[in-house]
Amino acid sequence: MSSKTMRTGTRALAISVSALALSTSLAAAQTATEAAVADLMSSGKYLSGDKHNHTTCTDGSTSIQALVNESIVTYELDWFAQTGHGGEGVRDCRFTDPEYDGANTGEGDFWENTVGLDAIKGDEETTGGFGAGAFFEDGNGREMWRWQMLTEYSYPLLRGMARTAEAPVWLGIESVVPGHEHVSMAIIDQQMRSTGNAYSTGQFEYLFDRSDDDTSGGEENDFENPANNGEPKNFDTAGFDGHARSVRSVEWLRENFPFDSYYVPAHVERQGGFDFDGTRGFNVEHFRDYHTAGLFNSSRGSQSVAMGAEMIAGHQAPNGGRGTYEADRPSAGFGTYGGAGAYSAAEVTVPGKDFDGNDITNATLNEIRAELNALFEDQFTEPSGSDAYDQLDACSDCADPAPEGIGTVTQERLVLGRPGIATMWDALLGEGRRFWNFGSSDWHNRGQFGPFEPQTTLDFFPGEYQKIWVRVPNGENVGFNRGSATRITSAMRRGDHFSVMGDLIDEFYFVICQGDKCATMGQQLNANPNGEDLEWRIVLKDPEGVNNSPYTFDNPSLLQLDISTPMNEPVLSHIDVISGEFSERIDPEDPEYTTNVANPTTAIFASVDNLAGEFDVDGEFLVASGTIEASSLEADTYFRVRGTNMPKGTPNETDADGNPLLDDFALLIPCTAEGDADLDQTAEVASNAGSSFNVRNQVLGQFDPSACPAHLPVDSDGVKRLDADVEAWADLWFYAQPIFVNIPDSFR
């Protein structure tokens, strides 16, 4: 990124009202915090990775080989977990198949053709899906159960590639969860032993994935053998019984693989509130159930196998609904906020209620609809210009109060959202839960484009756009071995990581100290309110050069503020330090277990404006620091950090406090760059983006990187509007995990 991010200056930090009294001068030396950050830098290293993505084993477009190559080689991830849904699949995932039709066209193929019917194990299952019906005369192709794919095909192939690359790469599952939608999980176990296997991963899929209704007993017919950590298979997959089964799966992981596994619900806002009779949606009580079921012990601050959720959506570049979050699913908050879901980036209601605690009625929806109409009706000739505008119109003739069904959506699944910092994530942190916020790629395909084209109307490859950066000890000595993998998963579990879009930053250190006692992300500092003042320090790196964006025109969102910044050279605008009080975990019998979806004590504790020169500079790093008066500590308090390239008050992107707005509003931002008719120099642009495939496509002149692309929606005046990958590259955020400051009883 541009070196213009490295600004000098020692301005006092801009602090909004907080429960804590602050002293924020950057001039005084912060000896303890400087030493703590130096120790973090010298004792470990940040490693980038992704743990949620798909191949042709299920509903992806690329082979295992292609996906690993793009992730580890092209986009240079340091670690990688290859996932994919449970259940079964007809396509052989050793072949790329962007046409989704197996052997019909292109290079794809079917298991029935490649390994033969005799090699396919378990109960016989056939399908006409993904083009199988057009290939097989009887309309059905023989499917292979995922437990067999995982143990006999995916794992050996993945292991071979990982050993060659000398990278910590392992096999996981995006499990299709009883009672809900999806969870990213993995069991390292034997995968990186000298004679490794993925037996336990296959066993989990067989026992707990609701899409797997095989009754054969799995590998060697022993997946249900208690001697192999098994248990009887259970077919309760919907509603409350399904949820109870998913909780049991977390307990099973904790009992058998506590240090070798993780369980992280995926795109948790996408299906809105929990479906009492179905298999959709997550409510706050489900995260509480999972976290508690995965706890290593009952003590406050204990780590959990269920360590967090993917509240920063994958699928960042679809046309008409970033994250594939849409009002008619109905996604919580009706969409994403700065690319993140409403559970961590906005404020939400209890499902079926408004922000005053009243039942959602048709009048509530009409009010929301009227606001959207006022914004969008003069912009687009068709309502589809805004997903929310179009989809909420489904109930325009409903009676008031709203009936049980709102369009095709039951009322209890509707979750309203609004910009703010009292998020559901903060409600969980407010119980002292070590529950973390993750991003992912959720790679499937590039929408209307081929998998190796630079443009996309759906997904980015792992590492191309979103990264999880984990800080691990001995980070220089990383390879294909169990120690490397467990150091990474341990860092994820303890909260020593951050997730970022578009390479906005690539290192982040955050410490709080009292005297010589210090804590960093995921840790707790026991503080004496009668002792010396606490000091905090943030050190981060906004890397120079370009990111992976193929676009070179000025960011349309920032042009609204007369700021000219190339799309592929983002600059950090500011960071916010958000504080909130925390106490004990809520008892499951307490009504607040299901109704507490916000932490009312949250506040923007500090904002540091990079564009205004409020960071200090130390070599490659930006630095901010300050003081918390010990005497102001009246309650246990956590501190977390977010950052963005969007200034506060950016029209259609952020409010005056810097909170992200509903991403549908990006459709109001024009994209007017006409481009350069001379495409001879595009190969150089593509090579800067780091992908040989980009070079190939841009040399062929398939698009002009300096022009707003043709796949953007057009308003009634013929002006292109922000959507798809342009919206994603324009609006970037990072989210870091909190530090907990605890006041021991002896000091109260």
Q: Are strands 733-736 and 637-644 parallel, antiparallel or unpaired?
A: antiparallel
Q: Where are the strands (E) in 689-731, listed by range?
A: 720-721
Q: What's phi and psi for 741, nearest 5 deg? A: -110, 115
User: Which of 190, 184, 196 lies closest to 80, judged by CA?
Assistant: 184
For the stretch 504-550, pLDDT in tens is 999 999 999 999 999 999 999 999 999 999 999 999 999 999 999 99
> CA distances (Å), 426 to each of 39, 135, 281, 662, in order?
29, 51, 19, 19
Identify the residue whose tokens are 């404006």: 609
For the stretch 159-203, pLDDT in tens is 999 999 999 999 999 999 999 999 999 999 999 988 899 999 999
User: Which of 664, 617, 606, 573 lies closest to 21, judged by CA?
Assistant: 606
**Buried/exposed 55-67: b ≥16 CB within 10 Å, e otherwise:** bbbbbbbbbbbbb
For the stretch 626-667, pLDDT in tens is 999 999 999 999 999 999 999 999 999 999 999 999 999 999
Check residue 221 and give its pLDDT: 87
Beta bridge partners of 608: 575
Check residue 196 and give its pLDDT: 94
Query: Does the bond joining 232 to the residue before it have cis omega, within 30 degrees of 0?
Result: no
Q: What is the SS3 assignment for 188?
A: coil
Least confident segment among 402-406, 416-420, 621-625, 730-734: 402-406
The residue count of the chain comes to 748
Which strand (E) or helix (H) includes residue 376? helix 362-376
Check residue 692 and give its pLDDT: 39
Beta bridge partners of 540: 508, 622
C-alpha span between 117 and 320 (Å, rounded) = 42
- Residues 121, 122, 127, 129, CA torsion sign: negative
- Percent of the chain beyond pLDDT 90? 77
Cα end-to-end distance, the chain, whole Å? 47
pLDDT band for 209, please (50, 70, 90 cuts).
Answer: very high
Check residue 13 and give its pLDDT: 27
Is the pLDDT score of 688 beyond 50?
Answer: no
For the stretch 597-614, pLDDT in tens is 999 999 999 999 999 999
Write the CB contacts of 298 (distance below 8 Å, at least 6 apart in sequence).
none
Query: What are the helix (H) ranges across 15-78?
Result: 31-43, 64-68
User: Which of 16, 34, 20 lies closest to 576, judged by CA?
Assistant: 16
Tokens of 528: 């004496």
pLDDT band for 377, please (50, 70, 90 cuts).
Answer: low
Check residue 404 and give its pLDDT: 45
- Residues 319, 320, 323, 329, CA torsion sign: negative
Write the CB contacts of 483 (distance below 8 Å, at least 6 apart in sequence).
none
Q: What is the largest CA-CA distance in the chain?
A: 80
For the stretch 115-164, pLDDT in tens is 999 999 999 999 988 888 888 888 899 999 999 999 999 999 999 999 99
Least confident segment among 21-25, 573-577, 617-621: 21-25
Write the CB contacts of 741 (distance below 8 Å, at least 6 apart in sequence).
512, 519, 524, 525, 527, 534, 628, 633, 636, 637, 638, 639
Give the up-direction half-sphere exposure of residue 217: CA atoms within 13 A in the CB hemisphere: 7
For the stretch 379-407, pLDDT in tens is 654 434 444 444 444 444 444 444 444 44
Check residue 408 and give its pLDDT: 53
Q: What's phi and psi for 405, nearest 5 deg? A: -100, 130
pLDDT band for 25, please (50, 70, 90 cuts).
Answer: very low
Query: What are the helix (H) ranges across 616-668?
Result: none
Check residue 134 and give its pLDDT: 86
- Give the mean pLDDT of 72-95: 97
For the stretch 241-288, pLDDT in tens is 999 999 999 999 999 999 999 999 999 999 999 999 999 999 999 999
Check residue 389 and give its pLDDT: 43
pLDDT band for 416, please (50, 70, 90 cuts).
Answer: very high
Is the pLDDT score of 5 beyond 60?
Answer: no
Rounded to the nearest integer, the mean pLDDT of the chain is 89
**Buried/exposed 313-343: b ≥16 CB within 10 Å, e otherwise:** bbbbbbbbbbbbbbbbbbbbbbbbbbbbbbb
- Percent of the chain beyond pLDDT 70? 87
Burial group, residue 276, by CB count within 10 angstroms (0-12, 13-18, 19+):
middle
For the stretch 431-484, pLDDT in tens is 999 999 999 999 999 999 999 999 999 999 999 999 999 999 877 789 999 999
Check residue 701 and give its pLDDT: 52
Is the pLDDT score of 498 beyond 50?
Answer: yes
Is the pLDDT score of 8 beyond 70?
Answer: no
Q: What is the SS3 assignment for 312?
A: strand
C-alpha span between 660 and 665 (Å, rounded) = 10
Write the CB contacts of 345 (distance below 8 Å, at least 6 apart in sequence).
311, 312, 336, 337, 338, 423, 659, 660, 733
